[in-house]
Each structure stands twice: as structure tokens, then as C-alpha cells.
Chain A
């Protein structure tokens, strides 16, 4: 890992998210505070008014998501932050943002569930909710940092992807990294790459709000700046008006998916650690990465050839990369704080080319490196017996 330099601070994960959001250019936050994400709302409430931005504590999670959509449509980069119970309530409006291609970022600092569950304890139980929580056949982008520094950089990335591809991006934290404090490098604003949504270059009378350019992404005018505009939850044509024309419907749904799939190389972020000679791979994300890194070191000391694939982009899933890895190794273990969610995608991607084994922990505690090592040894022994 790289050593940090420059402006170093000891920050909490949620505070790093605030720093990232401000650097990304966020000027609107609407939310309903919930553990373990509340410090994001607190931080935005402190910071935004001084920057001429707006912070609104809304009456509930549904309204928070709606307000974020509204603010984005008039041109502000908008953020909301929540945890599982709030994420459930946001799903309807999240779908509205997807179908209307409205850039925004939703942070889900995961805690134990279902329902109000475990407010102060970590979980990775919302991985599939991030993918399929809102109904309809839709794409989504979801990112999962594993260090406090990555929370800052991936918050910026989340906004960049969201603006570039006109799609809501979910930033998946968990209680451990949301509340964890460690050193963070706060970059100078001029060193941060910022992507802003594409605006129309044609006069208002020629503007069709949902007519895509060649890249599949329509330029986005701000509501109220003179461009005629209509948005609806119904499947719509180029004008943004409801359509029941099957050709238009088909083209619309396929375009929503294609704008993500065609750019998957740009969107996928992952890191490989000691995989070159590995015969066993761990695949991890979020705070569990930190345990898995230690497991790899411990395993190497015992002469076991174990490596790690660290996922930073969760959705879309890195199907090809995992498929390639499955051809190289004999065994993939997927430790996660649920009873098997991302392991299902790994199995799908591995296509039977190697053994894929889940390792789940759901007692509200972070998986530790020793237990993952135990699982590696157990599975290796099973191989030897067969």
C-alpha cells in the first residue's frame, strides 16, 4: 500500500466521506440521520452552509431521496446517507433516479439486519439489495471502500461515475469502516479529478432531454434554465413523455444497461495482492479486506500460496476478472459478513473452473484473519483428502 503524504489527518470513515463529497463538489445534502451513518449528515450540516450549499434534515428517508433527486435535476451535486432501514425506504425513489438518469450518490453504512437489526454493529447484508433493491430490470453502480482513505477517494469516484453515466451510485460502507479512524491524505482541490455531467450544446428549442449522444448518454440541462423538460417514473421517449411503443421501450431499457456495460472497464476498480503465484485466492470487499490481507500474510508465512482479489467496484461485477482467476487457482474463498451474497456472483463467474467456497459471519463482529486462515487450511486439507 502507498504511504500517505501531504495534508494528513486522523479522520473517521464518515468524516472522510464528507471530505470527499465536498471535494467532489457536492452542494446539497438531504437526509434523516441513522446510525452508523449519522456523522455524514452532521459533517455536511456543518460544511455546506459555509460553501453556499444546502443541508436539509428531512421528515423521513423517502423524502430525503426525493429531495436529492430534485436538487440534482436543478444542477447540484447531491448526496444522502443512510443505513439498511433507510435504504429500504429509499428504493422507490432510487428507481425513479435510475429511470430518469439523475446523478446522485447514496451512502449505505451497513449495519446488521433485517429490519432495525443491530444499529451499532457491522454487516455486509445489503450487497444484493444494492443490486436489486429497487424493482425493474435496471443497472446500478456500487462501490465498497476498505480503508478510510479509500472512503474519501471512492466518494469522489462515486460522484464522477454518477455524473459521467447519469446514474445513482451507491457507496457501500459498513459500521467498522464508517466509524473507524485512521490517517487520510486530503488532496488539494486542484489535484482532484472531477467529472461534471454533460450539458446540452444545442439551443433549447431543439433539446430532447432523453435523446442520447453516440455514447448512449443524453446531455442533461438543469431544470429551470430554459430547456423544455419532462420527467416521469413511466418509461419514456426522447421527450421524456410516457411511451407504450415497444420499440422505444426496448431501446430505452437496453440503453440504460448498455451505458454501464460498454464502459465496464472504466467502472471496475479492483486490486490484486500476491495473486501471481497463488493457487488459492480470497475475494473480499469492505472492512473484511483488512482481515483477508492479514490472512494472506499469515498463510504465506506457513508456505501456503494464498493471494487476494480486493473488490472496490461491487456492481457491475467483475465477471471476466474472476473468471480468469478461476482458471489460475484451485480454490476461491469468499469471506463476507453475510451468509453468502457476493460468493454467488463469484460462483457464476468461475463457471465451475475452480472450487468456490463461502465463509460467512453474521454475529455483528468483523471477521478476523485467524478464522479465514482456519478456513483456508480446512479447505486445503479437504483437497488433499480427495
Chain B
């Protein structure tokens, strides 16, 4: 792993991005026993408006807690994608929802597209797990934290009654990542 990995989870308020950031930081910091810092940026609205959660993971003590150049960018709205893609590292990866982000930026980075929210609705009857499927995809693609750690973190951070659906959502994310990776290999 790089000395310092910076992850930006972006979209709009209500998509669960802040919780996703907390789960990722808990996985890295507590279960993988690395250093991890999570910060957030959101507007005064309860729902809607731009929302972003940033996670920095490192083997060493973390000084600056925010993303300088993201290594992993999740964008769940067009606005977020347009805004934060400019801050993507040259070898960073972009994960977006293919139905929410229709204008995919022309960049040389690896881009992974998947209809995440639509799949959440179809498989689980709720878009609420979009955030956890996204985490599954990110972890499956990058190994930024271990799969065991993220599973434990989801278990400890989501509400009890939603544990089972989130556990399944995470596993689905791992599977989607496998498929996306395989497709990338084919297209090479």
C-alpha cells in the first residue's frame, strides 16, 4: 500500500456517504489496525445539497486530515463527479453510478461504471444500501482495507435492524467489483 491513501466519497445529502466514510475509517483504523481519519463536508440542509466524506488511511500517523489528491473517488451525482474529478490523482481510480452520472469525464484514469442505486432498488427494494454496495465495490477493486475488516465495520456501524441487508449489500459490492475487474481485463 502507498504510504498515504486518500479516498473521496461524494454525492448529495441523504446518500449515506458520511456513514460510508465512517465505516471505511473504522475498518482501516480499528480492524486493520492502521491509522485512519475521516472528515466530512456538507451543507445546512437535512437532505439534498452537496455532501462529501473524506477518508485518509496510512501506516504512519496522519497529519493533514483531508484529501489533497484523491486516489479513490466515488461520485454518486453528476455535480460531484464534475467537481472532484479535477482533484483525482493521475493513477487514481473513479467509481461512479452509471445512471446518476451520465456524462463520464474524459480522463486517462481507470473508470468503473455501474448502476449502483438501481441495483440496490432491484435487489433489496431500497436505495438506502447504495452506499454500502459502493463500499463493497471500492474494497473489491482496490483492497484499500481488507474484506474481513470492512465486513466487521459494517456490522458494528449500521443500525441493528439493517445489519442483514447491509451485509448482503456489501457482498454484492464485492461480486460487482470482480465482474468490473474482469471486464477491464477483457477490454485490454
Contacts and interface: CB of A to CB of B under 8 A. Distances in A.
A311 to B, nearest CB: 16
B37 A293 contact: no
A8 B42 CA distance: 27
A183 B64 contact: no
Given A183-B30, A290-B64, A294-B64, 6 more contacts: A3-B61, A120-B41, A120-B42, A180-B38, A183-B29, A366-B65
A10 B42 contact: no
Interface string B18-58: 00001001100110000111111111100000000000000
Contact of B64 (A3, A120, A181, A291): A291
B25 A10 contact: yes
Interface string B106-147: 000000000000000000000000000000000000000000
A368 interface: yes
B66 A8 contact: no
Nearest to B38: A181
Contacts of A183: 29-30, 35-36
A181 B66 contact: no
A370 B68 contact: yes
Q: Max chain A CB contacts within 10 Å: which of B22, B41, B63? A: B63
Interface residues of B, number: 22
B70 to A, nearest CB: 14
A366 to B, nearest CB: 6
A182 interface: yes
B104 interface: no
B29 A369 contact: no
B162 interface: no
B63 A8 contact: no
Given A10-B25, A10-B26, A366 B61 contact: no
B64 A369 contact: yes
B63 A293 contact: yes
A180 B40 CA distance: 7
Contact of A179 (B29, B40, B43): B40
Contact of B22 (A9, A181, A290): A181
A297 interface: yes
B30 A294 contact: no
Contact of A182 (B29, B43, B44): B29
B165 interface: no
A368 B68 contact: yes
A8 B61 CA distance: 15
Q: Max chain B CB contacts within 10 Å: which of A10, A179, A370? A: A10
